[in-house]
Structure 1
Amino acid sequence: MKNKGILGSLLVRIIIAIILGIICSLFFPEWLARVFITFNGLFGNFLNFFVPVLIFSLITPAIAGLGRGAGKWLAITTAIAYGATIVAGFIAYAVSQGLYPFLLGQGGVQSVNDIDEGALEPYFSVEMPPPFEVMTALLLAFAIGVAMTVVKSDTLYTAARELESVIMKIIERFVIPLLPIFIYGMFLDLGMNGNLVDTLVTFAKVIVTAIVLTILYLAVQFLIAGTIAGRNPLVALKNMLPAYFTALGTSSSAATIPITLKSTLNNGVARNVAGFVVPLCATIHLSGSMIKIGLFAFAIVYMSGMEVSLGLAIGFILMLGVTMIAAPGVPGGAIMAAVGLLGSLLGFDESMIALMIAAYIAIDSFGTAANVTGDGAIAMIVNRYAKDSIHSREDQVEVR
């Protein structure tokens, strides 16, 4: 693509969209804001329809392209992603134990209104049910992709690659150009929702701690990935910024996959590895979400004077790392999936769970941004050791 100046940068357009959304929320009349909310509803429904197809179309040829080592790399990638998520949980627990006695004063937990209460309603909506669920797409992609490594059918492989090209064209010509408008509408809606301010004030110190900790954790991830891959960690992290800011607006790892994929390729990751790791990690790598839920949960535990042993905390983190996968790519899905564990393991009542949901969704996008940006670090690590399994004709595709 030709350089169209600074406004041609997706990152710049996203930042402008965020700023304009917040500013316009201060004076827009409700009838005009609902126009953008209606667009967001339609575009969001399309993404829900499109994401399973996207995941299937990217992962299937990627697994087939990795050859007979696909099963091994699937296991390795899953282990790295789950390990990063669990380590993030342990760090969140350690920070809460060491910092909260100084950061938080003594006091009870107050119930707050749901963050969605008072949100603007669209003028109309159109249901767009996906052809299959995200988990079905993943299972189909794994099964067909691995089978293709055994069958070695050039016809099937060519067809999978052509389907991938069609899906990528939809992403480039339709999804990406509309993302800034979608992000603008998200921040416009948040700015006009009065409950957001109350929630931010209630948990301000914990929210700041969560944001800072996710950024520090990202720095560590890219330091490790850069050392292993032999690349400058700062440059690699800079290349992932479009994905980070896109996730800030979409609050969805799955919806950010197209940008995460392009950013990952810009870090020199091979096409097959990026096409395999990025969609997979959008589902199973949840370090940012783990940090937020961990910090919020243990803040409520501390403020309410509850007793949670080290063993119980470890069990909660290990199970949460698996449970969150039940709602991949859905904005706020991680906390909704965690509700059962919060009640059954930590003993949270309805008011505590309500506070968790409201505080989490208030900065949902920061955890999602950490998730998708960390996916790029994992892809760099896998790429470093998977080079011998990649077809030379597709190695090191450059994306401008």
Structure 2
Amino acid sequence: MGRLRDVAVLGAGVAGSSVAKALADKGWETVLIDRQTFPRHKVCGEFLSPESQRMLHALGLQETVASLQPSLIERARLFFGQERPLEIPLPGIALGVSRYALDLALHRAAQKSGVHVQTAATATSVYPDGEGYVIETRQGKESQIYHARAVIAAWGANRRSGLPGHRRKGAARNRYVGVKSHFAGVAPEPVVELYFFPGGYLGVSPIEGGLVNVAALLARNAFSHAEKTILGMIEAAVRRNPKLGQKLAFAVPVPGTQAAVAPIDFHRKPVVWDSLPHAGDAALLIPPLCGDGMSMALRSAQLCGSLADSYLRGEISLSRWEHEYARSIRREFKGPLRWGRFLQWLVGVPVMPRLLPAIGRLAPEWAFRLVQATRLKESDL
């Protein structure tokens, strides 16, 4: 039997890297495994909401993120067709930073804390054995086996065959595709903008280096005739909103920054625990228009890491970890998830693009409260 580590974290995104670092900081021997190579571009709004700042501080990551020189974002601007945009102040300063830079910085911070980071290695199976679990990985033609007392699944929304939590996919409703690209040539503002149009929406957010991140969520059936390239789909979306066309009139795509992901299914139920504890998108997926995805990934890492620490210390049983973690996730995420899905549905109702801007201007407090309902609350942090 190989060396028994304390924790193996499968998936090295925001949630996985953060929980691995948090556990290493507490003295636990931790390995972080991901099938991807890094740095890499990923479909993401690349927006760290104001709610994430306290979590970054608690996880010891505030200086790491600040070193990337992120853009500072003060408000949101929503465009519905030709209507005058609806402006909503943010409850604090948000940060715009690319996942290309952020993920690599989180890995380095985890390594500095003592985490063994193994990327480009696919976990092919996980099963209980004796004192803990066996994790089998493959890297090219090489195989490796890890033994760990605890395993945390942070492998994203799309579970893979052979691993706990995998479900055979059926015909889901309203499947979406996500696309993104960085652009130069767009005047930076301390604003995240959302443009709505038939079949989806697109966000424009400033990131580091004077660039903007353009990320869109598109209904597959509404863009079936668009050019089947990432930039082709973004161009098709731009044509559906004149204001967006004006915004990106002189934008130049940055080569190599394009990424896509499909399918995206917002109707799947949260999976907080399925043989293993789940964190980040593996646990639950909030619609990206809420702009709080990375904040929720950080929060789930906090919650899971704290209970994992108690389990490894022998203070709680595995079943108690499962019970407390599921209870915490339900308590803190149930409201934001419900309101986020409601907002996602609301903007898809045909009459709403004409009504929402007028309602928002007549009752700005209502618009602000609706957005806040999709966020983690300060009392929860």
TM-score by structure 1 length? 0.28
TM-score by structure 2 length? 0.29
Which structure ranks higher in relative contact order (CA pairs < 8 Å, sequence separation ≥ 6)?
Answer: 1
Instruction: Report which of the two has the higher share of helix.
Output: 1
Instruction: Report which of the two has the higher share of strand.
Output: 2
